[in-house]
Structure 1
Amino acid sequence: MIDQIVLADAFGVVGFIIVALWPLARTRRALLFGQGVSAAAFTVHYLLIGAATGAVVTSLSLVQVATAWPAGARPWWCHALYASTSPMLVALTWATWVGWPSLLAGLGLGLATAARWQRRGASMRILLLLAAGAWLAHDTLIASAPGVLADLLCAGTLLYGWLRDAPRPTASECL
């Protein structure tokens, strides 16, 4: 039988690899897809290392990704289900409360919640960058090496993607 820590690390590494890739995506849907896959891997990772708040909060990301998926005018049920994740976030954070790690996981998802409803990739990336900071602090406190590495890499690639896609001033604007 596979050791629980080895399995937890394996899911963490898979999550890390996906986190290395999704922030480089150019489209909103590709960003969302990558977030969903990495969230699934980290949900299992957090469960296996006993980080209950991290696990339940990260699992809410899957609901958010699914309801944020439609572009343009979203159906009413997407709005309702997505909105319901905010009170669920508060309730699940409270139910699994262990102090700072719970607060930081809740803050991380709260910022990501705002990001996923953005229609523009640039504003989505900025809010996700702030969320990565909260998750970095969370993963440091719970001693999740794959989480810390993923958070650092995610923050770096989000910043790179934001700078890469930022409008460039024209030559006449520089004069």
Structure 2
Amino acid sequence: MTFPDLVSVFFNTLVERFDLFGALGLTLGFTAGIMPRPQLILFTSAACATCFGAHYALLGSTTGVAMCAMSVLQSLVAARFAQSQARPPWFGGLFAASSLVIALLVLATWNGWPSAFAGTGALFAMAARLQGSASSMRKLFVCATLFWAGHNILVGSAFGFACDLLTLSGLGIALSKSERRAIVGGLRRSA
């Protein structure tokens, strides 16, 4: 093996093991789980999905890329309109149509179980984006994250799986804090 071959192998191994998009996505995934308000959760989720879309493109997961693109669009629309008291009349129809687009994209990019997991995770995440409360949103994001973990294991995304674990821990921390606040608030009201 020549020196240029060794450099090439080292570079390919380094690039394969360290993906800037995966690293940024991992950081943003955890951060989204601990954001205090639904709008911040959604904007951070959009940034996370953008990074993971690029990461999945490098891994060759076309369904992952397509689901991330849908996630970015849904998160940005939901961040702008889902939390308002009077949602625009087209809002529900747009999300209903996007569920159909998710199904069509999964079929168009079908790659077996990874596609099934990514599509199911995308549908749970879509339902989460429609929620008005951060707690309800987080509970559905837990379901979405579990399906994305299946996708990430099957496509070999170490960053994606690490992000799933961190996201679940962030969501768990935030859910337990909100649960404790609700219990303490209930005790204060009853006292």
Give the alignment's TM-score, normalised by structure 1. 0.91
| Alignment partner, residue 144 of structure 1 | 157
Using a 3 Å threshold, how does the CA distance of structure 1 residues 171 and 74 change in structure 2: closer, same or farther? closer
RMSD (CA atoms): 2.1
Q: Distance in 2 between matches of 1:141 and 1:106?
A: 14
Aligned residue type for 1:27: R
| Alignment partner, residue 27 of structure 1 | 37
Which sections of structure 2, spanning at least 5 residues, go unmatched? 1-10
| Structure 1 residues 132-171: aligned runs within 5 Å | 132-166=145-179, 167-169=182-184, 170=187
| Structure 1 residues 19-168: aligned runs within 5 Å | 19-69=29-79, 70=81, 71-72=83-84, 73-166=86-179, 167-168=182-183
* Identical aligned residues as a percent: 32
Aligned residue type for 2:152: D
Which sections of structure 1, spanning at least 5 residues, go unmatched? none
Q: Distance in 1 between matches of 2:163 and 2:139?
A: 17
Q: State the shift of 1:82 in Å.
A: 2.4
How many corresponding residue pairs? 173
Q: Distance in 2 between matches of 1:34 and 1:150?
A: 13
Give the alignment's TM-score, normalised by structure 2. 0.84
Q: State the shift of 1:23 in Å.
A: 0.9
Does the aligned pair in 2 maintain the 1:67–1:79 contact within 8 Å?
A: no
